[in-house]
Structure 1
Amino acid sequence: MSRILSHEDLTRFQSQLCDVAEVMFAERGAENVSMRQIAAALGVSPMTPYRYFANREEILAAVRIRGFERFAGELEQTYASAEGTQHERVMAAGRAYIAFGLGNAHTYRLMFEQGQSDDESDSPLGRAVARARATLSVYGDSLIARGMPQAEARAMETLIWSTLHGAVSLELAATLPPGSAYAVLDMLGRTAGH
């Protein structure tokens, strides 16, 4: 007779499943990974993942939610605890952005390169995406506080984010050498700080 799994057992297994799936999704592409392959990598029966998730899309959403929540938490904590001027606090958040991307390559790629239909909804995934995007708005908020019109400030925010994301992605792909993303941030900081 099998034992009844506790809430902690279930949570632990879901976390392990998401850890394995995250790597597989990032390395092969989510569309190229089956529930059966995830089960095999975990060493469980092919039906076991279905006890926790309805399908691969649910697993991908769970992996991305975890990533967006960790990402947002790190940026929020860094920005809140940074000392100095608004510009120095925004730069600290920028360094945290880069550190997260470079230190969590699989997660970062899935968060920003694998969109899902719920990204813009009021679902748990949509709320995690919105929270992460809100952490990226501190730069635009600072420009608005300094008197820049909102539309222009948001356009600058998008330009800065796109540049930073591009630098992180290129460094992850080894197209740019190590340290390039931080150098780009420093250049952006010198340019935007004036």
Structure 2
Amino acid sequence: MASETDWRQSLEESIRKGDPTWSSEPIFNEATGSYYQLARDVGLKNGINWETANAKAQRLSFKGRKGRLAVIDTPELSAWLNENFPLTGLGYGGNTWIGLRYWCRFRQLSWSNSEVHPFNAFSIWDNPWYYRDEVRCGHPADLPWMGVYIVGDTMRWRAVGFRKVMMHYLVEYPAPQSEDTAKNNIK
């Protein structure tokens, strides 16, 4: 299993070389049966928006599993991710896209796997829960949704307008959905 030191050294080397993209080795989570991977993409200069990160994650695969932006739906998974991918000290505050969006018109959260995230479900919203700038639900009026990211310094979630860019995104390669795989915890 790759350690934090390994992936941080790999990332720093990639930055020194001027590589526009980078990704850690996927790490297996026993509890979820999924693999998780931290990725970096400078995009045109300062990162990529949520929609681009989501599309890039969906184009990835690992051990026959299709990628997606990470679904973080339990406190245990959140703690495990914070332990394995501490974002403090990464460029641009370590802000990292996850697979959650807030749909302004419907006032509803949904994950990258299309599942609705109920408001009473696990969450770790920062205070304030949205990025303070001129772009948020209702301003501009046509803003359809806000992407959600982990604030690297606090490891809490915040929503932001769909044009905002981040350098990092968290990819999940979900466990296969067959009953036999879940029972046997097959990697």
TM range (shorter): under 0.3
Q: Which structure has greater helix proportion?
A: 1
**Structure holding more strand per residue:** 2
* Bigger radius of gyration among the two: 1
TM-score by length of 1: 0.27
**TM value normalised by structure 2:** 0.28
Q: Which has the higher contact order (CA 8 A, sep 6+)?
A: 2
